[in-house]
Chains A and B, each alone.
Chain A
Amino acid sequence: MNDAVFIGFAGLGLSVVLHVIFASMTLGTGLLAALYRWRAYRQNDPWAELFARKVFKALIVSELFSGVWGTIITVFLAGFFTALTTLATNTLFIPIAIAIASIMIRIPAIAISWYTWGKIHPRTHSLVMWIMALSGFGVPFGFRAIFAEINNPTAVGYYFQTGLNPGWMPYANPLFWTLYLHTVAAVISVGGFVAASLTALEKGVRGVKAGLTWGYVFLISQLVFGPLYWYSLGQYSPLLFNAVNTTYSPLLGIKLVAVVALVVLGYMALKSARAGAIHPATKWLAPLALFTVVAGEILNDGARYPNMVLTGNEGIPVALFANFYMEIPMPAVYVILAFLILSLVVFTTAAFYALYRRFIAEIPETE
């Protein structure tokens, strides 16, 4: 593998990890915002509406940065891994179409939700919010099919054997459903913990309790979905399974320790919130939850190195999917790498200030 391909693979991996951090925050907080906005309308609860708006602000910030890193992923894929992009677009057309259609619906729905809030009937606004929240889950429904296929190429294998488009076949891939359930539970859990940590900074006990309840319930569900995905990897992607359990076992161990810490601290924080107090650990639950997401994504994506696609006990090297149109000059690769590092510093700093310093302007909120 030459340096350009390695840097391309590492850059793609870094972009995916950063994208996943913000994407899990935005999808999870989106669902919470829609749920509490709807609850405010149905149960005549003004607090629920104010909570929904607070959570929505975290959604806006994370959606912006998620989109930025999603674009950087596309640039890496198109520039460095042209063959992979072409193959994925041709064979996984339906999952990609679902993901893109979901993005096309979600982004305007976010803008419509925010700007019409307080200007249209609460019932109509709740409907827009639900469209916004649920369309978000269509994005991993599309893209996770690609991840399942590069771990266990059933639909792509069909395409190579027959020359026919596999259509909906990616959804018959057994790895897809375990990965998707694992992802959905992770993002809702992260959304809950992010909501709890941010409202803990404002000493809002009820918001902390609400966020922790959702975060904790879906964290507990991960005790089923996580091992289920791990088991299905053993069945359908043995090379990745072995890499996760041997070379990458220290990271797997750290992730499991982080999950246990999250379970214990989350329980303590939830117990305190139910008693009307905010546990000091609450503000650290969101970073901890995001760390487990990052560790899981590195295990799922990075452990395949030096391969890109895994076929049972064998792998297809990354270099075979590299740009076949041109030899990418190394100075250009270093410029891209420098831009990536600069983007990482700038966007992470901006995201931190936007989330913790409350940079989104708000009208006065009083009950």
Chain B
Amino acid sequence: MPLIYTAYYTKVTFAIVGGLAAAVLFFYFYRAPGLSALATAIARLFGDERRRVFILALLLVLGTVIPAVMGWYVREVGRKPWTVYGLLYPSELVTPVPYSTDPGFLAFAYFVVLAVNLGGFFAIYIVATREYKFLELLKKGAGVSQ
């Protein structure tokens, strides 16, 4: 269970970091007596204007995504070996179909999940990094310039 404890405290730590980053960003941009001065002093630790906003925003993202993922992990993995705590084991709930535990079917299922995820990540990368050249590529793809 050390893994669960580590995951749990990682989740709590990042949640605190995310909360603090959100508070600093908020009072950095919206003036409040005392708090804004403190927020500005903290933000200045990260360098110039562009850099401090980027780092605080990054901490905010990490402070929301990591607790969300770790929360699921702690709850779902931490419940093992039960599926319904104290009542039912996974082996009692699995579909009583031989195909569901067949290596071929499992390989197929994992392949589909993996392919969909890799395809999704690749598409997100393409969308995030490439310029939108629809009209140019439309003409190229349609052969207008050929």
Contact = CB atoms under 8 A, between A and B. Distances in A.
Interface of A: 40-41, 43-46, 48-50, 89-90, 93-94, 97, 101, 104-105, 108-109, 111-112, 115-122, 125, 165, 167, 363-364, 366
Interface string B104-146: 0100110011011001100100110010111101111111101
Query: 9 nearest interchain CB pairs?
Result: A44-B143, A118-B134, A122-B141, A46-B142, A112-B123, A93-B97, A119-B130, A115-B127, A108-B116
Nearest to B140: A122
Nearest to A122: B141
Instruction: Determine chain A's interface SS by DSSP, over half rule.
Output: helix
B30 to A, nearest CB: 31
Contacts of A366: 135
B137 A165 contact: no
B95 interface: yes
5 contacts: A40-B142, A46-B138, A101-B109, A119-B127, A363-B134
Contacts of A115: 123, 126-127
B99 A94 contact: yes
Given A97-B105, A165-B99, A363-B132, A120 B126 contact: yes
B141 to A, nearest CB: 3
A112 B134 CA distance: 15
A145 B27 CA distance: 60
Contacts, number: 87
Interface residues of B, number: 32
B96 interface: yes
B116 A105 contact: yes
Given A40-B142, A165-B97, 5 more contacts: A93-B100, A105-B116, A108-B120, A118-B133, A122-B140
B142 A49 contact: yes
Contacts of B127: 115-116, 119
Interface in B60-100: 95-100
